[in-house]
């Protein structure tokens, strides 16, 4: 085994032994009951979901591939009592439909008659419930940690930990794309289409466009972090997952922060197909995401839904373009603020950078970019790209929005952008027609 592979295995073992959730401690007993090898696996957090929707998902046909489903049935401590009761009833339904189940601590496994496998993790009953502030992040981490251990033990052939939600519709070729992905890619983001619940068509389309507008704008500006951060669309290489220590334990945004960590250590690939259909439905189960966004849009129907001002992304592009240029011979000891580095940069951008203490990060990157093994400028850009990550990019955008460029309505946003894809422009035009039609008495 090469030194590189040894380091990967060391990081993997270190994570599983020291940072994974307690369910991985049952891995050897679990494996002794599995006695088969699966082609792929899929992790699904389950809270207050429909039994019918889950049944459709886990009974799907995936081009004759055998899939191991890991369902983390969870409830937050002190959460909604009715939602907790519905989740517990769902847990009992799922257990009741398992054939010859094997129970190991809070894990239950059974092989299904169609060749798929099913693992249920009980995080819905005391004392295994999820701490309220750790929510869906801990639920995803619990399932993905066990998935990582199962791949490491050879129970699953694929290197990919697939993550999705109970309200999606997966195509039959969902897993096939992984056969053609380059080894350098450590995370995949699937394309998606929102399927709105009746009465939420316009709200769904507004939210959908806001997501695509943000990612297309980041891409146009030259950001390294231009991808969709949606937990139901992700697949992660198991060794890379361990390297960044898995999903963060957060009640929301766990997908954003996981991908943010992964983008710093390898290449993320935004797939062109197959397309995942995502239910667009109102929800209060998580603090943000599709469900809460639809609630906000519908509840604020008297106010127009607004989008980041395009000038913000032009500012971002201006900064990122300057950052890529080889710097002069500035003395790091004389750098006190962003204007000392980029004296000709837009004053609004300079203020946004100062709010992030950019000059300190710049000086640090310069002082650590003089190694002989690599071009100093390449090292510098690597340092700065890691520092100016998806989170700081969002803070930069929010600073400009809050202080200089207020968000604007859809029609104005489209009029002020000249870089959006033809597909997105067409969606915007159609939505404007639909909104105007809905306002007509």
> Are 216 and 265 found together in one domain?
yes
Q: What is the pLDDT of residues 17-27, one digit of tens each?
A: 999 999 999 99
- Domain of residue 413 covers 407-439
> Are 329 and 432 found together in one domain?
no
Whether residue 304 is contained in a domain is answered as no
d(CA 168, CA 158) in angstroms, rounded, equals 22
Specify the number of domains making up the chain.
3
Minimal CA–CA distance to 268: which of 381, 369, 190, 356?
190
> Are 155 and 211 found together in one domain?
yes
Whether residue 305 is contained in a domain is answered as no
pTM over 0.85: yes
Which of 246, 267, 299 is the last residue in one of the domains?
299
Whether residue 372 is contained in a domain is answered as yes
> Are 328 and 242 found together in one domain?
no
Q: What is the pLDDT of residues 377-420, one digit of tens each?
A: 889 999 999 999 999 999 999 999 999 999 999 999 999 999 99
> Are 43 and 172 found together in one domain?
yes
d(CA 196, CA 282) in angstroms, rounded, equals 10
Cα–Cα distance list, 371 to 34, 116, 264, 384 (Å): 50, 51, 20, 16
Reading the block at residue 77, the tokens are 């401590």
Which of 240, 270, 299 is the last residue in one of the domains?
299
- What integer is the mean pLDDT of 94-114? 93
> Are 319 and 379 found together in one domain?
yes
pLDDT at 1 (0 to 100): 47
> Are 393 and 412 found together in one domain?
no
> Are 287 and 425 found together in one domain?
no
Which of 278, 299, 320 is the last residue in one of the domains?
299
> Are 195 and 244 found together in one domain?
yes
> Are 84 and 211 found together in one domain?
yes
User: Collapsing DSSP states into helix, strand and coil, what is residue 67?
Assistant: strand
> Are 182 and 211 found together in one domain?
yes
pLDDT at 35 (0 to 100): 87
> Are 56 and 88 found together in one domain?
yes
CATH of the domain at 82: 3.90.550.10
């Amino acid at each position: 085994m090469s030194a590189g592979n040894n380091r990967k295995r060391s990081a993997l073992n270190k994570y599983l032994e020291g940072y994974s959730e307690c369910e991985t401690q049952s891995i050897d007993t679990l494996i002794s009951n599995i006695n088969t090898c699966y082609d792929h696996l899929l992790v699904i957090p389950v809270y207050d979901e429909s039994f019918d929707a889950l049944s459709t998902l886990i009974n799907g046909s995936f081009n004759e591939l055998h899939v191991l489903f890991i369902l983390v049935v969870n409830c937050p401590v002190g959460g909604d009592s009715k939602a907790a009761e519905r989740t517990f009833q769902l847990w009992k339904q799922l257990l009741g439909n398992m054939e010859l189940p094997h129970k190991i601590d809070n894990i239950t496994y059974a092989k299904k008659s169609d060749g798929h496998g099913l693992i249920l993790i009980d995080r819905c009953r005391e004392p295994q419930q999820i701490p309220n502030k750790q929510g869906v992040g801990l639920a995803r981490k619990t399932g993905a940690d066990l998935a990582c251990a199962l791949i490491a033990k050879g129970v699953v052939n694929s290197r990919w930990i697939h993550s999705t939600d109970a309200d999606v519709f997966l195509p039959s070729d969902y897993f096939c794309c992984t056969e053609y992905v380059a080894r350098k890619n450590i995370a995949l983001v699937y394309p998606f289409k929102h399927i709105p619940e009746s009465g939420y068509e316009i709200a769904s389309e507004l939210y959908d466009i806001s997501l695509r507008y943000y990612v297309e704008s980041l891409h146009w500006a030259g950001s390294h972090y231009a991808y969709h951060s949606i937990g139901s669309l992700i697949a992660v290489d198991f060794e890379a997952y361990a390297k960044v220590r898995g999903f963060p334990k957060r009640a929301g945004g766990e997908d954003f922060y996981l991908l943010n960590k992964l983008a710093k250590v390898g290449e993320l690939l935004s797939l062109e197909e197959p397309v995942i259909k995502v239910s667009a439905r109102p929800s209060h189960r998580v603090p943000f995401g599709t469900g809460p966004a639809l609630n906000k849009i519908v509840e604020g129907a008297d106010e127009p839904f607004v989008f980041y001002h395009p000038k913000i992304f032009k500012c971002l592009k201006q900064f990122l373009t300057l950052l890529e240029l080889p710097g002069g011979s500035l003395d790091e000891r004389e750098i006190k603020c962003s204007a000392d580095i980029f004296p000709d940069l837009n004053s609004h951008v300079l203020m946004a950078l100062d709010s992030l203490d950019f000059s300190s990060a710049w000086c640090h990157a310069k002082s650590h970019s003089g190694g002989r093994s690599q071009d100093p400028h390449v090292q510098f850009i690597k340092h700065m790209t890691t520092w100016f990550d998806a989170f700081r990019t969002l803070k930069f955008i929010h600073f400009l929005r809050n202080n200089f460029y207020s968000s604007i309505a859809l029609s104005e946003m489209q009029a002020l952008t000249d870089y959006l894809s033809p597909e997105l422009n067409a969606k915007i035009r159609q939505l404007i027609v639909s909104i105007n039609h809905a306002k007509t008495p």
